[in-house]
Each structure stands twice: as C-alpha cells, then as structure tokens.
Amino acid sequence: MAMANNRTQCFKSKIEKIKHSCKRCSKGFCFADLTEHKQILNHELNHIINDYDGFKQTINEHKRKSQNHSLIKQINQWERISIEKIKQKAQNWREIVLKYSSTVINNIEIKLNDLNEQIKQLHRENEFNESNLNRLRNQLIEIIEELNNPSNISIEQDSQSLINEISYILSKESNFNKWNQNAITVAGGNGKGKELDQLHWPVGIFIDKKKNIFIPDYYNHRIVEWKYNAKEAHIIAGENRNGNRMDQLNYPTDMIVNQQKHSIIIADFGNNRVIQWVNQTQQILIDNIHCWGLAMDKHGLLYVSDYKKNEVRRWKMGKYNNEGIVVAGGNRKGNELNQLDYPTFIFVDEDQSIYVSDRDNHRVVKWRKGAKEGTLMVGGNGKGEDLNQLSSPQGIIVNYLDEIYVADFGNDRVMRWCEEKEEGEIIVGGNGKGNQTNQLNGPTGLSFDDGGNLYVADCENDRIQKFELVL
C-alpha cells in the first residue's frame, strides 16, 4: 500500500483527506476507510475459497458416485437382460439340436431294424446269392454314412448386429422334410358307411407308438381304433348309436388318448360336452360347452376350443366344475388379433403357447401364455388358394423347429409354414379335389408317427391316408 502527500477526496467517505491508494483496485481511501476496505476484500476472498472448496468436494463425490449414475444403472440392466436372453436363446437352440439329433438316430434305428429283418429272413430261408449280399452291404454302408455325416443342419451367425445372432439352417436337400406324394390308405377307404371296415367323415386322428390309429368317426358317432395293418377297426367308445346317454356320442370331433390310463377324453360336439371314457366307464368333465378341438399340455392342463363363444378355455385336471380360464379369444366374433371366428383344432407347445385354427378367418394364430391377443402365424390374407392363404383350416401340428403344419380343408392340401416366412409350401395334396392316391378331399386331422410318416384324416373321402417319409 503506498501513501501520497497530496490531499484528495476519500473514495468511500467523500471527505478530503490524505489519500492512501489501494493497489488491489487502484482506488484512494482515507486511512480508516482503507483498513475496512482491506477487510472486505479479504472476506470476499475467503468466501470464494469456501465456495471453491465446497464445489471441489461436490466434484469428488460425483466421481465416487459415478458408478451409480442413472445411465450406468440402465446400461447394467441392459447387460443383465441381454446376457439372460443370450443364455435362453442358446438353451433353445441346444434343445433343438438335441431333438433333431434324436430324430436322426430314430430314423437310423428304423432303417437298421428293417435291415435286421431282411437278414433274419435270409437266414430263415437259407436262400441267398451274391446280389442279395451286395444289396444288404450297400444298405448298411448308407446307414453308417448317414450317422457319420449328418449334414442336414448347420449354424449360421448374423454378424450385422452388435451381438451376433445365430439361427439354424436345415438343408433344403434334407430328407426329413419330404413325403411320398402318393399315399397309402391305412383306415377306411371302402366307401361311406358304418361297417367296421368303413368310416363316415373321420375328423381327428391320433397315432400311438405302435402305429395304431384312433379316429373320431363323426357321422357314425363313435371312436374307433385301427390296429397297425388291420383290415377293420374295433369300436372303443360310442357303439350304441347317437344320443345323449352316458354311453353314447353325438358327432365327436376330437379326442385325447392316454393309453397308460386306458382313457380317452372326447369332444362330444353334438352333445355340447367333453366326456371321458375310462375302460367303458364314462364321466362328463365339462358340460354346456360348444366344443370342437382338444389339447393337453405337459402339465396335464386341458384346453378346449368353443366354436360358438369364439374362445379357447383351459381347465386343471380334476377341477372341471368351474368355467375354466379363457386363454384365447373371448372377445366376440371378429377378425381382430384379440378375436376368433369359429375356432376348431388347437395345439399347445412346450411353453403353453396355444396355436388356434381360426376357421372362418382362414388363419392360424398363436396366443402366448397370458397374452391378451394373438399373433398371426399363418394365412390371414383372406380365403384363397395362394401360398399365403388358407381356406377353412383344420388340424394343426407344430414341431420342435417351429414349423407349422396345417390341414387346408377348403384347398384339399396340407401346408407347412416356417417361422417368419410370408408364404407356406404344399407338402401333400394340392392336386385338386379327388380320391386318387395323390389327392385329398377336405382334409381335417393330422398326425405324425415316430418314423416321421404323415397321416391325414381325408374326411370327405372317408379314409385315413399315410404319406411315407422319403428316406
């Protein structure tokens, strides 16, 4: 601080006194005011220092808490969810590959058993030549080659996304997706009638492990079983003509067969009831229901389509005295995704998702467990015969590759729709309405045996057709 000899006006008091200049701000003060001015400046500096220290502490706290930033939390959550999805998808594909491998082994075993029968026959007859031996040797070589080189399935990665997606590719040359186009009649086919070698409008179909065939024989008001290679059936339910007594049926449409318990659950369409037959003893499970299709999931829950209420309901086994739970439709007739229009056959997968043949909407919709509306899977482009259309679809089967097989009733064909494809493909039929071996007439029920052979309830031809898998 410098002191001048001249007198001048004090900056603060405005009185002429000896001037003392402040070097910090170049202003003149009297001695008394200069001291106070210095104190004010020091106070302001201390205040700035305190503000600085406070903000510095805030910055340090932010640095310590940066791991808990809200955006970091969102990123961490995204990471956890993504990892779980990857794990789930990997597990799904592992299950698909294991199931596919099991199918390959089963088909090889079928061929091997057939080869064994041929060898036994040659031993028994003791008449064989070099040509017979060469044929057997070549068959065995082909079977061994099929096991050692299962080239029909591979993995493809999508490297365009941040996290590489994978999907399976089933070779278009695979033998597991082709069937002989000329069928073999394995039940009925002897004209419309009620004799034991006849059927009259067979609707559904079930094939057991021994290739025995169970059929709801609609206009004959009965359930019949055709043993493997039998020439005629035997009646297992409803042999007392149509009626509403406990031992009678009235236009049955579908059934669930439990051979271990010797029971059959039947959609008794004409009597508006679901009835169970156990060793010729009957029990009404659900009454006053306009039932058509039945399904049961791996937990033993029973699903029933109601064509009049346009819905599918689910019941717990043994608890049929309530109204069940609506799991698809139930929002009046319509073509919105939360509606159905005359649902018929249904299929329930491992995840309890329900596939519904939505007949008068000419589509198949999938309702995931707990969903409020369905997802369009097949058709939905109006009634027609194009590859993206259906006409009054009936029986449906969904395999472990999520391929949907549909009995396209009005187009006299069976279609296969692969996931995310806009069009299906005709796998059998589609050669016009008729009764030739390569024709169908109003197909309804579908079933596969353990060897991958396809069975079709050729309803209006009153027969069951077997389309053999091309091996």
Share of the chain above pLDDT 90, in %: 55
In a domain, 237, yes or no: yes
Quick one: 81 and 197 in the same domain? no
pLDDT beyond 50 at 4: no
Kindly indicate the confidence band of residue 151, based on its pLDDT and cuts at 50, 70 and 90.
low
What is the average per-residue pLDDT within 240-246? 92
What local confidence, expressed as pLDDT, does residue 11 receive?
60
| Highest mean pLDDT: which range of 257-261, 421-425, 457-461 | 457-461
Structure tokens at 98: 């294991």
In a domain, 25, yes or no: no
Sign for the CA dihedral angle at 80, 81, 86, 88 comes to positive
Quick one: 310 and 424 in the same domain? yes
Quick one: 151 and 207 in the same domain? no
Which residues are 222's β-sheet partners? Answer: 217
Sign for the CA dihedral angle at 360, 242, 271, 214 comes to negative
Quick one: 192 and 163 in the same domain? no
Q: Are 347 and 358 in contact (CB under 8 A)?
A: no
Domain housing 147? 70-168
Say which amino acid occupies 455.
Answer: Y
Mean pLDDT over each residue of the chain, to the nearest integer:
87
What local confidence, expressed as pLDDT, does residue 17 receive?
60
Task: Give CA separation, 322 vs 163, 251, 253, 254, 326, in Å.
Answer: 48, 25, 23, 22, 12
Quick one: 199 and 131 in the same domain? no
Quick one: 189 and 160 in the same domain? no
Could you give the 3-state DSSP secondary structure of residue 20?
strand
Q: How far apart are CA 263 and CA 320, in angstroms?
A: 17
Greatest alpha-carbon span in the chain:
146
In a domain, 364, yes or no: yes
Structure tokens at 234: 């035997």
pLDDT beyond 80 at 154: no
Q: How far apart are CA 200 and CA 122, in angstroms?
A: 43
Of residues 356 and 156, which shows the higher confidence score? 356
pLDDT beyond 70 at 162: no
Question: Closest Cα to residue 253, out of 236, 238, 267?
Answer: 267
Radius of gyration of the chain (CA): 39
Of residues 99 and 444, which shows the higher confidence score? 444
Q: How far apart are CA 13 and CA 19, in angstroms?
A: 12
Which residues are 277's β-sheet partners? Answer: 264, 282
Task: Give CA separation, 136 vs 147, 216, 297, 405, in Å.
Answer: 17, 41, 43, 35
Q: Are 170 and 153 in contact (CB under 8 A)?
A: yes
Q: Are 463 and 201 in contact (CB under 8 A)?
A: no
pLDDT beyond 90 at 105: no
Q: What angle do CA 403, 406, 410 make, to 5 degrees?
A: 155
Q: How many domains does the chain have?
A: 2
Quick one: 187 and 118 in the same domain? no
Q: Are 374 and 425 in contact (CB under 8 A)?
A: no
Quick one: 374 and 449 in the same domain? yes
pLDDT beyond 90 at 153: no
What local confidence, expressed as pLDDT, does residue 26 receive?
62
The DSSP code for 252 is: E
pLDDT beyond 70 at 340: yes
In a domain, 58, yes or no: no
The gap from C-alpha 151 to its chain's centroid, in whole angstroms, comes to 26
Per-position DSSP letters for 69-100, written without gaps between them: -HHHHHHHHHHHHHHHHHHHHHHHHHHHHHHH
Domain termination site, one of 111, 137, 168:
168
Quick one: 361 and 429 in the same domain? yes
In a domain, 10, yes or no: no
Q: Are 328 and 372 in contact (CB under 8 A)?
A: no
What local confidence, expressed as pLDDT, does residue 345 receive?
98
In a domain, 301, yes or no: yes
Sign for the CA dihedral angle at 269, 272, 273, 277 comes to negative
Q: How far apart are CA 174 and CA 460, in angstroms?
A: 32
What local confidence, expressed as pLDDT, does residue 36 receive?
76
Structure tokens at 396: 């449906």
Kindly indicate the confidence band of residue 397, based on its pLDDT and cuts at 50, 70 and 90.
very high
In a domain, 219, yes or no: yes
Quick one: 100 and 233 in the same domain? no
Domain termination site, one of 149, 168, 187:
168
Per-position DSSP letters for 436-454, written without gaps between them: STT-BSSEEEEEE-TT--E
Q: How far apart are CA 101 and CA 99, in angstroms?
A: 5
Ranking 128-137, 180-189, 282-291 by mean pLDDT, the lowest is: 128-137
Of residues 13 and 445, which shows the higher confidence score? 445
Residues 213-233 pLDDT 10s: 999 999 999 999 999 999 999
Q: How far apart are CA 290 and CA 148, in angstroms?
A: 52
Quick one: 98 and 209 in the same domain? no
Say if residue 93 is exposed, middle or buried (CB neighbours under 10 Å; 0-12, 13-18, 19+). middle
Quick one: 157 and 203 in the same domain? no
Kindly indicate the confidence band of residue 174, based on its pLDDT and cuts at 50, 70 and 90.
very low
What is the average per-residue pLDDT within 155-160? 66
Domain termination site, one of 111, 142, 168:
168
Kindly indicate the confidence band of residue 68, based on its pLDDT and cuts at 50, 70 and 90.
low
In a domain, 216, yes or no: yes
Residues 176-205 pLDDT 10s: 469 999 999 999 999 999 999 999 999 999
Q: Where are the alpha helices (DSSP H) in 126-162?
A: 130-148
CA dihedral 181, 184, 188, 192 (to 10 degrees): 40
Q: Are 359 and 308 in contact (CB under 8 A)?
A: no
CB proximity list for 38: less than 8 A, separation 6 or greater: 22
Question: Closest Cα to residue 100, out of 168, 189, 183, 32?
Answer: 168
CATH code (residue 224): 2.120.10.30
Q: Are 206 and 447 in contact (CB under 8 A)?
A: yes
